[in-house]
Structure 1
Amino acid sequence: MWHSGHSTEDDPGVDALFPGSGSVGWPALAAEHGGRDGGEGRPATSDVGRVLGPNAEAWWSFDTRHISVSDVQILGDSQGGRSDAGVYWMFTAGGIETSDEPSGTVLPVGQSGEWDAHFIAGPQVVAAGPNDLRMYYYSWDEGLGRFVIGLARSEDGFRWKKTGPIFQGGEGHDAAGATAHCVVQDLDSRAFFMFYEAVAADNTRSIGLAVSPDGLGDWQRTPDPILRSGRRGRLGRGVRENWALLIAGSNGWGNYRHQADVAHAYQVLLRGGIKEDRIIVMMFDDVARHPMNPHPNKLFNAPGGPDVYQGLRVDYSGTAVNALNFLAVLAGNRSGIEISSIANGRVLESGPQDHVFVYYSDHGAPGIVGMPSGPFLFADQWLSVIKSRSGVGYEHMVIYLEACESGSMFEGLLPEDISVFATTAANARESSWGTYCPGQSPSPPPELLTCLGDLYSVAWLEDADEANLSVETLKEQFQAVRLRTSQNFTYQQGSHAQRFGQLSMGTQSVAEYLGDAEQGPAAWGHAGAGAWVGAQVADAGAESSRRRRLGPQGAVPQRDADLAPLYAAVWREGPANSAKRAEAERALAAALGARAALDARVARAVGAVADGRRSAARRGAAGRKGAPSAGLGAAPAFYAPDLLYAGELPGREGRPVVDDWDCLRTIVMSNDKMHPLQDMVGAWEGVCGALDQYGMRHSRAFANLCNAGVRPAELGTAAALACTDADVA
């Protein structure tokens, strides 16, 4: 066994070593060859030591810095196989320290512009027959942007002629090409088999296979790798760590489902074997102890389901759940967090070899997701941290995002060249959906007058409860989630789940991020006796879960799900003439009225801005010399108020929701502090008050104004009139 080593004196070289009797095959081979054992006749079980090192002679320029062994052949006089009279040939790869002219090589790198001009590596020599030596090697082809395997041929082993590249991989597991390889010839068919290290677009490595009838060309690869990397938690534990960040971005009884989603995700990760100290949870944590909760200190994410709150460790609660802390945790920036009784200061301490899973359940709107405290989280802020941590704070990151218009957080923003795989509950223009709501099927027990979950979230969570995550891939789970979230592609009470980022990561197993310990319904044993609620206990097994997953499922638009407790209270309070029923109806009417009034104010303000722009354009046209009189009474072109208020400006498909984020968002950050801006959201809130989880839907109108070139001050002036007009409602 020949291997490359590096001494403590920084003097690398090639060693020769025959292992001891515990290894298979080598001692017998060494004893058979006696003195011709490749190591100066040493005993087969001893470490021979260095047999070849870098060349220090001044005239030499090939391997003056380091040398590594790539292939050793025993070639006889026939040069066609092994014999007792053969000679050991060692083919090495070396590093150049200084060079005026190439010297000492049998195969130099290519000239500038050639496919192998950057380097050549991994030489393997195959004796295909008399006077037919073939050297397979690989390089990086800059023109193709991938690793490529090439071939050189020789009759005597000294003089080699390159024939060019012969194999470059395909798509999927070898989309970035092929590197280390081993070529063997089948003695019966005479075909050549190439086992190679396949490199995917996200740098994932696996073993691929290609077959050629003559070893020279027409290499046919298998569509899938023949050997994938081992599952996490088996080999390599301690080298790569799993980290997770879970956040519920809302509070209040009407948002029960978001905190139940996150608590369920926590249980999935623990059950998968993710270490507790590698999971960070951010949620207001008011629902489990809410006065309206009939089961104190318990949360349920499905009818007849287990308590998912049991054992949950919350790291950030109350007002500590805000955009600034979320970004600091994601960035691993402990100094950006003020530690308190509601914020323990834990951050993602992941490194460049680690996997990170981020799950966010909340309200959303175009370009933003909500927070229970402080300003919204804007898409460009989140993406800025994700990009800055690429290759530093994670090797691969997976993001699951539950929110209305959640696709707008990544559309046109998340690049494909960083190792992030993101899925969202909805596209950039539609609501996501709450589920397990009162009056629906399946329905929560009568005492829980609120929605227990969100359709996209329970789709992936219940899939994780039952699937073999070591086998299921990210793509397969997404397909299952998309089917359920779309209500079997009918989109009746459903949404269009989306994927973004480096989609080739979809071939990785879900277990790479959620853990590979025991999965399935039986693993819920830790929930304890008495954790099941409602009248469906007898129907809470795997078959009922399967029906929930595949059959039609009641759902409510995310923003309307907040009103579910109010609607349920009206239904529950008996006859229409009862005092309690009347009180419940007044509360519901007040909530609906407040929403209608806000919508009317925003529509009036946007309309006033549009009218002002049209009037200014007419005045400008009238003042220009030679303006045709016939055109003075016609309104010049400007976007219609209805389009600005509720539509999407032309040409925005596939682009971020806004071009100038500073025009839209309420804050910028520098030196870990928030600084107010004169922006659209700030201009509105400065006059009309903070936008709530319903009002944030109007970020599309504010983004449209920015994209139309409107200044925030114009909206501020219009908002002052709209929000003080008593007749607006």
Structure 2
Amino acid sequence: MDYYIVGILLFITLFSPFTKSEPTKLDRPSNETELIHGNSKPNCKAAEPTKGKQWAVLIAGSTDYENYRHQADICHAYQILKKGGLKDENIIVFMYDDIAFNVENPRPGVIINQPGGDDVYEGVPKDYTQSAATAANVFAVLLGNKTAVQGGSGKVLDSGPDDHIFIYYADHGATGIIGMTDGLIYAKDLIDVLKKKHEAKAYKTMVIYIEACEAGSMFQGLLPNNWDIYATTAANAEENSFGTYCPDDYPSAPLEYDTCLGDTYSVAWLEDSEMHDLRSETLEKQYKRIRRRVFTQDLDFNSHVTQYGDMKLSKEFLFTYMGTNPDNDNYTSMANSKPSGFSSASQYDAELLHFWYKFHRAPEGSTRKLEAQKELHGKISHRMHVDHSMKEMGKLILGSENSTMMLLKTVRPLDQPVVDDWDCYKMLVKTYEEHCGSLLRYGLKYTRALANMCNAGITMEQMAAASARACAKIKP
């Protein structure tokens, strides 16, 4: 396949009406004016020294160089917490660790999270890497269960009733799902772990930040407001989240990089935390700043940072969870201002963007050009396979060409979880993959259709029959 055919396939994949969902009606908070313009009244009160220990669990769920940004986000978070005074013994890091010394990294041993930024990789603890960076280990660590941990450093969240916990996750997500290197974490399973932690009185307060598409679906209708847990997410339960500092963005990744350096929500909170005295900035104030910076008027590149859980905790100071860098004691808003918005690429397209630039920038006629072309074609072919198989499957089950798209647009009320029967949901995902191959990252965009099939009473047997027929016609 020559250059032009690859280009045509890329255009079809990114802009076909079937693969691009229509914008949905979004709920807006009642305090819209404050969210857009900010609170002009300065917060002069400073945080008191915290009682108990400060703990942090940092999780990058992805692998491979095209997902550079997730490990960059996590490493950057570590540097902020370390400068804030948290101890390495209380910071637990999950990352596959295949980026810093990746053959595609133009600066071996260095990871940056912004154009011209400092190395954020140096000194990061390698607690759970490679085969130890698993969903099961995440749950074991959160529960403080040392005997359940397989591999890694063995560090767990050995917290007590006076301790404060900060959890930050960055990777791909979907409807009630976030990814790990070995599979998926379902919202119901995460909530069950948090419930056990709460019932064990193993913390005083907990804050969770999640960077992922549809991240709000991990908490919507599931996280109670009386567990002393406050969470914010990169997007609500139905939106994409976005990569930033990508090639040809403004600001752009340096020319030698063919991948995005960060994610909009993550970069927003990380850069905000670097600039401010966290003894006088509340979680609520940071939430509003992040929301303003991430929000755009472009519905195709827009997400609403959203908050869940115990809203009383939003009045607490960031210092309680992140410490604070003494260098920020003399913060002034004018001197430390950051750009008001981002150029961005959806999490799904950021992956393809890497392969496109890798192909486009390779020397004509080179082996590297040919290999990049094969990689790009493979990614596009997989997307086309998933698109067609999901469309065909919806037609077989529900009898309409547009069934799958209708299911993707069906959104549940804000007080309800995205699915009622989580076992059904898991089984439908598994059944599809058994017959049609792995969804991989791109295919996760269709999981809302599977969740809504469960909500509509579709059985595993119906799914298996439809998947087998749909994928018998389409070669993976």
Q: TM-score, normalised by structure 1?
A: 0.56
Match of 1:96 in 2: none
Displacement of 1:231 after TM fit? 3.0
* Residue of structure 2 in register with 1:609 after alignment: 397
Q: Deviations over 1:135-182 (max 9, x none)?
A: xxxxxxxxxxxxxxxxxxxxxxxxxxxxxxxxxxxxxxxxxxxxxxxx
Number of residues of Structure 1 aligned to a counterpart in Structure 2 = 433
The one of 119, 142, 158 aligned to 1:330: 142
Partner Cα distance (1:661, 1:380) in 2? 7
Q: Calculate the aligned-residue CA RMSD, in Å.
A: 2.6
Give how far 1:363 is off.
Answer: 0.1
Q: Report if aligned partners of 1:260, 1:452 keep a CA contact under 8 Å in 2.
A: yes
Mapped contact 1:408–1:428 kept (Cα < 8 A)? yes
Structure 1's unaligned 5+ residue stretches are: 1-223, 524-541, 615-638, 666-678
Q: 1:583 to 1:685 in 2, by over 3 A?
A: closer
CA contact (8 A) 1:687 1:719 kept: yes
* Matching residue of 1:211: none
C-alpha displacement at 1:610, in angstroms? 1.2
> 1:265 & 1:226 partners in 2: Cα distance?
25
Q: Does 1:478 align with 2:282?
A: no
In structure 2, do the counterparts of structure 1 residues 570 and 504 end up closer, same or farther at CA, with 3 Å as the change threshold?
A: same
Q: 2:266 aligns with which of 447, 453, 457?
A: 457
Is the CA contact (8 Å cut-off) linking 2:86 and 2:323 kept in structure 1? yes
Specify which of 425, 432, 437 is matched with residue 664 of structure 1. Answer: 425
**In structure 2, how many angstroms separate the alpha carbons of the residues matched to 1:571 and 1:640?**
35
Instruction: Please state how far the C-alpha of 1:384 moved relative to its aligned partner.
Output: 0.8
Compute the displacement of 1:272 (Å): 0.4
Supply the distance in 2 between the matched residues of 1:686 and 1:456 (Cα, whole angstroms). Answer: 34
Q: Does 1:382 align with 2:190?
A: yes
Deviations 1:187-215 (A, max 9, x none): xxxxxxxxxxxxxxxxxxxxxxxxxxxxx
Tell me the residue number matched to 1:647.
409
Does the 8 Å contact 2:208/2:230 carry over to 1? yes
Q: 2:358 aligns with which of 550, 557, 569?
A: 569
Contact 1:331 1:348 in 2 (8 A): yes
User: 1:244: which partner in 2?
Assistant: 56
Indicate which of 542, 546, 554 corresponds to 2:337: 546
Match of 1:498 among 306, 319, 327: 306
1:689 maps to which residue? 437
Per-residue deviation at 1:390? 1.5
- The one-letter code sitting in structure 2 at the alignment partner of 1:358 is I
Structure 2 unaligned segments of length 5 or more: list them. Answer: 1-41
- TM-superposed CA distance for 1:646, in Å, is 2.2
Instruction: State the secondary structure of the residue aligned to 2:440.
Output: coil
Conserved 8 A contact 1:494-1:555: no
Q: 1:697, CA displacement in angstroms?
A: 1.9
- Cα distance between partner residues in 1 of 2:80 and 2:338: 20
More helix by share: 2
Q: Deviations over 1:599-656 (max 9, x none)?
A: 1101211221113xx9xxxxxxxxxxxxxxxxxxxxxxxx96145542216x544311
1:230, distance to aligned residue in structure 2 (A): 1.6
Letter in 1 for 2:215: S
1:510 is aligned, of 318, 343, 347, to 318
Bigger strand fraction: 1
Deviation at 1:594, TM superposition (A): 1.4
Aligned to 1:447: 256
Amino acid at match of 1:478: Y
Which digits, 9 at most, give the CA deviation of each residue in 1:54-88, with x for residues without a partner?
Answer: xxxxxxxxxxxxxxxxxxxxxxxxxxxxxxxxxxx
Q: Deviations over 1:578-610 (max 9, x none)?
A: 876565445323312210111110121122111
Structure 1 pair 492/230, CA: closer, same or farther in 2 (3 Å)?
A: same
In structure 2, distance between residues paired with 1:441 and 1:318: 33
Indicate how the Cα distance of structure 1 residues 411 and 396 shifts in structure 2: closer, same or farther if over 3 A, else same: same
**Residues 1:718 and 2:462 are matched in the alignment:** no
How do 1:164-203 and structure 2 match up within 5 A? Answer: none
Q: Secondary structure at the match of 1:289?
A: coil
User: Does the 8 Å CA contact 1:282/1:317 hold for their aligned counterparts?
Assistant: yes
Residues 22-62 of structure 1: per-residue CA shift (max 9 Å, x gap): xxxxxxxxxxxxxxxxxxxxxxxxxxxxxxxxxxxxxxxxx
> Could you list the per-position Cα deviations for residues 480-505 of structure 1 after superposition, in whole angstroms to 9, with x for gaps in the alignment?
10011113x65563311000001111
For 1:384 and 1:266, locate their aligned partners in 2 and report how far apart those are by CA, in whole Å: 27
SS at match of 1:563: helix
Distance apart, 1:243 and its partner CA: 0.5
Structure of larger gyration radius? 1
Q: Structure 1 residues 688, 455: CA separation in 2 closer, same or farther (over 3 Å shift)?
A: same
- Does the 8 Å contact 2:394/2:403 carry over to 1? yes
Identity %: 39
SS of the aligned residue for 1:468 comes to: coil
In the other structure, the counterpart of 2:345 is 556
The Cα shift of 1:430 comes to 1.0
**Closer, same or farther: CA 438–684 of 1 in aligned 2, 3 Å:** same
**What letter corresponds to residue 384 of structure 2 in structure 1?**
A
> For the Cα contact (< 8 Å) 2:294–2:342, is it kept in 1?
no
Partner of 1:349: 158
Distance 1:400 1:605, change over 3 A: same
CA-CA distance at 1:546 after TM superposition? 2.9
Per-residue CA deviations over 1:240-281 (Å, capped at 9, x if unaligned) read 000010000000000000000000000010000011100000
Bigger mean CA offset, 304-313 vs 391-400: 391-400
Are 2:61 and 2:181, in contact at CA under 8 Å, matched by a contact in 1? Answer: yes
* Residues 465, 519 of structure 1: 8 Å contact kept: no
Partner residue, 2:9: none
* Pairing 1:295–2:107 present: yes
Which of 1 and 2 has higher RCO (CA within 8 Å, sep 6+)?
2
Residues 374-422 of structure 1: CA deviation (Å, up to 9, x unaligned): x300000001111221261111000000000001000111111111110
**Which of 163, 166, 174 does residue 365 from structure 1 map onto?**
174
Is the Cα–Cα contact under 8 Å of residues 47 and 319 in structure 2 kept in the other structure? no
Residue 229 of structure 2: aligned partner: 420
* Distance in 1 (alpha carbons) for counterparts of 2:382 and 2:334: 43
Say if 1:469 and 1:509, in contact at 8 Å, map to a contact too.
Answer: yes
Deviates more, 1:586-595 or 1:281-290: 586-595
Does the CA contact (< 8 Å) of 2:139 and 2:193 recur in 1?
A: yes
